[in-house]
Amino acid sequence: MTKEAAQIAKKWIDESDAILVTASNGLSISEGLNLFADDAKLKEVLGNLVDKYHLSNLLTAFSYQYPDELDYWRVIARTVGYYSNNYQPSVYMQDLKKIIGDKLYFAWTSNVDHHFALAGFDNLFEIEGNWLDGVCSAHPKKHGVVNLAKQLHEFYVKDKAGTLTKADIPTCDKCGAPMNINTTANQDFQIDQKQINAFQDFIQKYEDKKLVVLELGIGPRNQMIKVPSMQLVAVDRNSRYITINKGELNILDIIADRSIGFSASIGDAFKETMTGKSHVATTQGPTKPQPKPELTPEQKAEQAKVMQQFYPDYMVDSGIRPSSFPMYLTIDQKHPSYLHTVQYGQSMMYSIGDAAIVHCFTQDGNIIRCVSVLIRAKMRFTAFTLIQVLLPLLRIATMRELAFHKLALKFQTMVMVQF
């Protein structure tokens, strides 16, 4: 525990040029919305549908294949009615506004409850959409995203009154097709391009400036927001990283000297961050990163020898970052790929072109074959799908197969993948 952590965190925020707020389930749970809970509140929200369909939590309720379409929309309308229609900004949202003050900010969240917007945070990127928006099931791209707040409220009122009919199910005003809620749980999900553009502009504007990433309730292994935000900090020495997640923290070694973790409730961490005084929160950092052993010249030569068994066009060049050991290999003339093996033992791969197969080497000599697809982006990061499979006859750790989130195919953003 670092006694000065709260004081340092406050200093970082006070001296920052801008703040990037990132948030996931932990913030929602703090506000009383737990998608995974099987408790009395579930029946309070969904009523008779819990017993009718043996629903164990809200996440199950959203993905259940209902034989009656009216019941699906009852789930949506009752949930939105309970958590969003009458939403009043929580103490956490109020404290967050105090922390941000008059600084420029952006909020990046995977929460679909729309609470950031309802609390008055206009600079917002909802990476998984929100449950107040709908999209046409027949022409999702052509007909665009529609706000369903008013329709869902009317549906909720009729549901309470027992006067619902199938005519009340939301339909597209352009073609009459059924609507779907515009979240990633729906295959027709449409990302908000305006939000993406604004987010990219924010990141580019504060590149190399004093940016603080303030992370709220994001799990230690989150790949959608946590990993790319840590990578953002890793490549910008002027940025700082503050993470709040009770129970388990995850901070990359390479940014440990510019990071503070609060293993505490969001409320307790906010109190300490605003006052600069440590109270009950268990904290981590900032600490100097521990140096990892680099490959010896003999190991590097052996690695190059193994690599050339696959691709004779392999070469090694000097790194673009301190202590990096990049490898450049040509898959074919149309698909060059760049692999950077960095000092702390994790690899980043950048693929240019369409689908390509690359062999990624970690610093300890492990080899992983990756199938990648580039998502072109304005930013200096790229997003891609990834499937990891083991190469035969090589001594490497067991890796589980990963299919990167289908959302990556639909928008331009930044993603770092760890091996």
- Between 66 and 298, the more confident residue is 66
Q: What is the pLDDT of residue 288?
A: 76
> In percent, how much of the chain has pLDDT > 70?
70
CA distances for 205 relative to 55, 228, 236, 255, angstroms: 46, 17, 13, 21
Q: Report if residue 98 sits inside a domain.
A: no
Q: Report if residue 397 sits inside a domain.
A: yes
- Between 369 and 390, the more confident residue is 369
Range in 21-25, 185-189, 262-266 the model is least confident about: 185-189
Q: What is the pLDDT of residue 291?
A: 64
CA dist., res. 172 & res. 140, Å (int): 10
Reply yes or no on whether the pLDDT at 408 is more than 60: no
Q: What is the pLDDT of residue 113?
A: 96
Reply yes or no on whether the pLDDT at 309 is more than 50: yes
CA dist., res. 90 & res. 139, Å (int): 37
Q: What is the pLDDT of residue 390?
A: 31
Tell me the residue ranges of DSSP E strands in 54-195: 104-109, 124-126, 129-136, 145-147, 179-183
Q: What is the pLDDT of residue 316?
A: 42
Range in 99-108, 227-236, 263-272, 341-350 the model is least confident about: 341-350
CA dist., res. 29 & res. 281, Å (int): 18
Reply yes or no on whether the pLDDT at 392 is more than 60: no
Q: What is the pLDDT of residue 385?
A: 30
Q: What is the pLDDT of residues 175-202, one digit of tens each?
A: 999 999 999 888 889 988 899 889 989 9
> In percent, how much of the chain has pLDDT > 90?
52
Structural domains counted in the chain:
1
Q: Report if residue 323 sits inside a domain.
A: yes
Q: Report if residue 313 sits inside a domain.
A: yes
Q: What is the pLDDT of residue 169?
A: 94
Q: What are phi and psi of 228, to 5 degrees?
A: -65, -30
Give ∠ CA 268-270-276 in degrees, rounded to 5. Answer: 100
Range in 52-56, 218-222, 251-255, 352-356 the model is least confident about: 352-356
Q: How far is CA 393 from the centre of its chain?
A: 35
Residue numbers of the domain that contains 382 = 297-409
Q: What is the pLDDT of residues 351-378, one digit of tens each?
A: 333 333 444 444 444 444 444 433 333 3
3-state secondary structure of 221: coil
Q: Report if residue 361 sits inside a domain.
A: yes
Q: Report if residue 369 sits inside a domain.
A: yes
Reply yes or no on whether the pLDDT at 251 is more than 60: yes
Q: Report if residue 291 sits inside a domain.
A: no
Q: Report if residue 192 sits inside a domain.
A: no
Structure tokens that stand for 247 in this block: 């129970």
Q: What is the pLDDT of residue 406?
A: 31
